[in-house]
Amino acid sequence: MKSDQVKLLISLAKEIKTERKDKNKIVFTLQSAKILTKQGNFTGKFSNLKRVATTVK
């Protein structure tokens, strides 16, 4: 039997997966998490993500 926390996490993951995403919301979220700067560049700690982001485009 799954714990209540696991059930909640599964429910939240399903909700996030089906949620419509737009570029502005994604950029805002990454800026809030200090992954992107206000100019849209990756911060120092996350500079290695630039390689991944450029190959995904």
- pTM attached to this predicted model: 0.57
Report the pLDDT value the prediction gives residue 1, as an integer from 0 to 100. 52
**Helix (H/G/I), strand (E/B), else coil: 49:** helix
User: DSSP assignment of 16-48, as one string?
Assistant: HHHS---HHHHHHHHHHTTSB-TTSPBPGGGTT
In terms of residue numbers, what domain contains 16? 4-56
| pLDDT tens by residue, 1-55 | 578 899 999 999 999 889 888 889 889 999 999 999 999 899 999 888 887 776 6
Report the pLDDT value the prediction gives residue 34, as an integer from 0 to 100. 93
Other C-beta atoms within 10 Å of 9: how many? 12
Query: Cβ distance 34 to 43 under 8 Å?
Result: yes
- The total number of structural domains in the chain stands at 1
